[in-house]
Structures are given as structure tokens and as C-alpha cells.
Chains A and B, each alone.
Chain A
Amino acid sequence: MSASVAGLSVPGVARPRAVRSRRRSVLPGFAPTMGYTLFYLSLIVLMPLAALALKTSTLTWDAFWQTVTAPRVLASYRLSYGASALAALINLFAGFIVAWVLVRYDFPGRRLVDAMVDLPFALPTAVAGIALTALYAPNGWLGAPLAALGIKVAFTPLGVLVALVFIGLPFVVRTVQPVLEDLDRELEEAAASLGASRLQAFMRVLLPVLAPAILTGFVLAFSRAVGEYGSVIFIAGNIPFVSEIAPLAIITKLEQYDYAGAAAIATVMLAISFALILAINLLQRWQQRRA
């Protein structure tokens, strides 16, 4: 456990010094709030993680390695991380456009569209899964015409992607939207008056400001997608080596009362996700420093 505690504290290393330097903060009560924060994080985040590590540690190293590198489990990581990355990438573009439209244009029903973006948040994931499956099944509204074209969505890896795109959309929209709102339009006008083309204005003026928010949205959508079970399980088909996601590999272990094996796969997923998120955060910081 100590390893991941150390790992978690890395991003915050610079902070205590910053706090000390401005002692007279306008907001009082650093000590109690910090204490509460630590207590709360321990209770909500660290303790379950510790329990996970504890369960995993009941395995010998060999058994652990065998569990987490079984070919079927490896195939499920590939599908889960691959589909999640792809879905987050799609959402990065689609979500940006949605946020752009919502911020920059006023049109009848804008508030309604704005509210609709949050639906994937609010909908129970199982309901989303069943709805998507009904829609994309070979006899569904969208599935039938697609099937006529020879494209199968439900019960294939493509179905997994569709479900992950669905649940990930709000993350990108909701992180990009506020930054876009704060962005001064005059910046673009200034760029235009200085002779920048539209593309240049976008690439050199807008994008550098928006990039951190877009990246954050991407990371959020990605990490949500990796762990997603409810909405995917109905549409995936769950065939080993083809459409079996990593969370299902964990559930399968649990069904066999193999708690330690389930915890082992979960630990590996956690480690991969944490490494990826950390890498993206570092990338973001590096980019900000450069900008």
C-alpha cells in the first residue's frame, strides 16, 4: 500500500510550500479543513484501495502473475483500454463541438440541449445499456439498417465502443464549456485583425487556452469508460477473446469465489489507469509551463 500512497502524494508535492508562503489567507481554517480533507480521502478513497491491496496480497507472486497475464485477461485489457481510449478520443472532438455550439451560438432550445448533455450522467447505466442494445440490435431501429449494410454493432466490440462514447460525452463537454465561456472573443478578433486566418486563430490562440480543459475531459471520459460495467455488459456479447471487457473478467472471478484473483485484476487495472492519468497530468503541466 505504501507504494501507492507515495504515488498519490507526488502531484501535490509543491503545494505545502505555496500555502506556507501566504500565511494570511483570506479564508481561515487551513488546519481543520486540511485535516478533514485527509480524513475524508482516507475514508472514501484510500481505505477501499488498502482493502483491495490486502486481498491481492493473499496471492503468491506467481499466482498473481498467472492471474493477471492469462491470455483471456490480457485480451480483456486490450478491449477495455483500447475501446476506452478510442471512445474518449471520439468524445474529445464531438464534445468540443457540442461545447462550442452551446457557448458561441444562441438558438431556440439551447437550454434544452444543454440539459440533455447531462443525461448520460443521470441515467442508470444499466438502463443506458439496455436502451442502446435495443437500438443497435439486429432488429433495432438503428441496428436493422446497419445490419442490412453488413455492419454489426450490438454484441461486438463496436457495441462496446458505442456504449463508452455515450457515457463519456458529458465529461468533455462539461470541462470545456466553462473555459470556453471565459474566453474573450476579442482575442480572436485581435488575431483576425493582425492577419491570422481562421485556422491560425484557432490553432495558435484558442487551442493553447483550451487544451488543458480538453485533456482533462479526455482523461475523465477515459477513466470512466475503463471502469464502466453496467451499460457495456448488455451490448458487448461477452465472448471471451472478442468482446469481453476487463470488468467482466473481474466479475467472472468473483462468481467463482476467487476474491483474490478479482482483486489482482482490479489492482492491475488501477495501476495502469493511474499511470496513464499521471502521465497525462504531467504532459499537461509540461505543456502549460511551455505556453
Chain B
Amino acid sequence: MKIFRTAIAVVLAIGVAAVAPQAAAQVIAAQVTLLNVSYDPTRELYQHINKAFAADWKAGTGQTVTIRQSHGGSGKQARSVIDGLEADVVTLALAYDIDEIAGRGKLLPADWQKRMPNNSSPYTSTIVFLVRKGNPKAIRDWNDLVKPGISVITPNPKTSGGARWNYLAAWGHALKQPGGSDAAAREFVGRLYRNVKVLDTGARGSTTTFVERGLGDVFISWENEALLAIKELGPDKFEIVTPSLSILAEPPVAVLDRNVDKKGTRGAAQAYLEFLYTPAAQEIIAQNYYRAIDKTVAARYAKQFATVKLFTIDEVFGGWAKAQKTHFADGGLFDQIYTGRSP
């Protein structure tokens, strides 16, 4: 019995020890705390941004700002916010997810994307290929990905925002070839996904599959994620191949009006997002391998990024809502790739 009692005491002690600092932190941080709900590969970026913003805000207002970050698949993150996670700002992988927060959660107006410059995207990126050192399968462009015997790694577009950009980039490329048509694009993307042997649920999972597990000849990836992989793992293992044509990925940001008004954090939240457009933040953005939108900063880091012809989702697909419905909804074109070949 005594052992039993001791065990309970230990468990309780651990529980209290785990909870107490949090409770204490909440009492001390009576200043201002922001929650930034973001997508998977922005961990490093926002760690640096947060530090810079906190210093900037302290200098300007004397207030201490603490920014908590939450990362995960873009869709999953949006869902948590809709279900009541009290984020002050969202910085997600694609506009569609914030559209859903506006539509279902009614946390911000439907025209949110017009509220900040550049479609509310303070940074952009694109889709490139990561291949193994020396490019043994001689992959130069999109057409090489559909060749027989090439193993392609990309996450599942149904569960990953980044994967949707990958899919749309491939589709757009096929469409813009001489004689390109919807039918040709469909056939091209179908062949591409038949070369995919692992569909991870998120972008980071795919990176692991390609980098750590050694699976696949080519990994279709966010440009920032590919550059980060090279930096972390050394240029002696992988190289980046930039296709002739790719999509301009615009990860948007937004203040969630209902949440900031309830918590009284609108001032800091708004300033936090506006800070992203300042030269200082643009510099950090470029250092973290996102394409800066500030011309001078972009020019300074131009060497880091290959020149690539980019098309936008609005040009080719008529915006996210339409692309989502045609391609990724249940029974959409992506599903048909698989149901088409089902027995």
C-alpha cells in the first residue's frame, strides 16, 4: 500500500511540476502574447523573425511581446483555428486555407487577401527539384520526372499544402507546352504520380523520406525547403535542379480579427505582420531561403536563387477556390489519377 501511495505522490508531483511553470509564465507575461499559427517549413524563419520583432516592438512601445509558434500541415493548422485555437495571426501555405477560416470560422472578412500588400504574401517561393549528388538520373526538367523508372517523392496533395503547389506546378508546365491542353496536362500529371511510390502526409515527412531513408531519385519540394536541406546536410549529398517553368507560390498571412479583438491584441498582431514587409524582416526572409519581395533585398540575395519563369495560380487556374474544387476535392482530378487505375 505504501508503494502505491508513494507512486501516486510521485505522479502528482510530476504533474504539478509540469503545469506550474506554465501557469506562472502566464501570470508574468501580462504584457502581450501573440500566437502565430503557421505551416510546416517556416519553423526556422519565424524563430528569427520573432526575435527581431520582439526587439523592435520593445524599442518602439516599451512592451514585451512574446510570440508563440505553432507549426504543422497547413490544412490541419487552419482546422485547429476554425475549431477554436485562438491564434492572433495565421501564416499559412496557401490562401485556400485562410479562405476556409474566413468562410467557416468567420474570423476575418472574406476579402482578407486585399488587406496587405502583394496579395498578403510578404515572401514567395517556388517549386524545384532536389536530386542526389551528381544528378545520376540526369533530371533537368519536368519531362524527366515522368520517364519510366524514375522514382519521385512528393507529399499527398489531399493532406499537404506544399504538395498542392507541386501538383499545380506540374500541371501548369504541361499546359504551357506547345500543343498543351487540359487533357495533355491530365495525362502528364497522371504519369508523374504513377512514378510516386511514397505519398507522405506533409512536406517535412517527404523530406525525411528522401533525405534520411534514401528513397526516390527526385524530390519535388518548396525551394526554401530544398535550400535548407542542402545547407543542413551539406552540398556533397544533394543538388537542386530548377525546372524551366514553375509556379509562384505565395504563402499568405492574415490577422484574425475576431480573435485579436477578443484578446485585445490587434495592435501588436497588426504590427507583427507589417513588420514582415520591412527591410529588416525581408533580410531575414531572404536568409531563410524565401524569396523577398523587397526589390533591394531581393537583388542582394539574387545569387541564391536560380532564375526561373514563374506563373501564378490566378493566371493558370483562376485562383485557389477553383483549383481546389477541380483538382483536389473528393472525386476531383487528383482522385481520378488513382481511381482510374484501380482494378
Contact = CB atoms under 8 A, between A and B. Distances in A.
Interface in A239-291: 239-241, 248, 251-258, 261
Contact of A155 (B212, B215, B339): B215
A175 interface: no
B182 interface: no
Interface in B55-89: 73, 75-76, 79, 82
A268 B208 CA distance: 33
Interface stretch (A102-110, A130-138, A190-198): A130-138
A154 interface: yes
B158 A252 contact: yes
A130 B212 CA distance: 11
Nearest to A236: B198
Contacts of B197: 155, 237, 239
A220 B100 CA distance: 39
B180 interface: no
Looking at B82, B100, B200, B330, which has the most chain A CB atoms within 10 Å of its CB?
A: B330
Nearest to A155: B198
Given A155-B197, A237-B197, A257 B100 contact: yes
Contacts of B215: 137-138, 155
Interface string B326-343: 001110000100110110
Given A155-B198, A238-B199, A238-B201, A255 B159 contact: yes
A66 to B, nearest CB: 9
Interface residues of A, number: 30
Interface in A60-76: 70-72, 75
A207 to B, nearest CB: 35
Contact of B338 (A72, A137, A138): A72
B198 A239 contact: yes
A155 B210 CA distance: 12
B329 A137 contact: no
A233 interface: yes
A234 interface: yes
Contacts of A139: 213-214
A268 to B, nearest CB: 16
A192 B299 CA distance: 89
A258 B201 contact: no
Nearest to A252: B158
Nearest to A152: B197
B156 interface: yes
Contacts of B201: 233, 238, 248, 251
B104 A257 contact: yes
A240 B156 CA distance: 10
Contacts of A253: 330
Interface string B151-177: 000001011000000000000000000
A135 to B, nearest CB: 11
B205 interface: yes
B265 to A, nearest CB: 26
Interface string A201-244: 00000000000000000000000000000000110011111000
B163 to A, nearest CB: 11
Contacts of B198: 155, 237-239
A234 B208 CA distance: 10
Contacts of A258: 330
B213 A256 contact: no
Nearest to A248: B201
Contacts of A140: 213
A137 B338 CA distance: 24
A239 B159 contact: no
A85 B330 CA distance: 29
A177 B334 CA distance: 49
Nearest to A137: B213
B199 A237 contact: yes
Contacts of A134: 212-213
B100 A138 contact: no
B139 to A, nearest CB: 20
A238 B200 contact: yes
A251 B208 CA distance: 20
Contacts of A155: 197-198, 209, 215
A154 B200 CA distance: 13
B338 A255 contact: no
Contacts of B76: 254-255
Interface in B290-343: 328-330, 335, 338-339, 341-342
B199 A251 contact: no
A19 to B, nearest CB: 27
B165 to A, nearest CB: 15
B212 to A, nearest CB: 7
Interface string B184-207: 000000000000111111000100
A241 B330 contact: no
B329 A256 contact: yes
Contacts of B196: 239
12 contacts: A134-B212, A138-B214, A140-B213, A239-B199, A241-B338, A252-B158, A255-B75, A255-B76, A256-B328, A257-B75, A257-B100, A258-B330
Given A139-B214, A253-B330, 9 more contacts: A71-B339, A138-B215, A155-B197, A155-B198, A237-B199, A238-B156, A241-B338, A255-B158, A256-B329
Interface of A: 70-72, 75, 130, 133-134, 137-140, 154-155, 233-234, 237-241, 248, 251-258, 261
The 3 A-B pairs of least Cβ separation, nearest first, read A137-B213, A139-B214, A240-B338
Interface of B: 73, 75-76, 79, 82, 100, 104, 156, 158-159, 196-201, 205, 208-209, 212-215, 328-330, 335, 338-339, 341-342
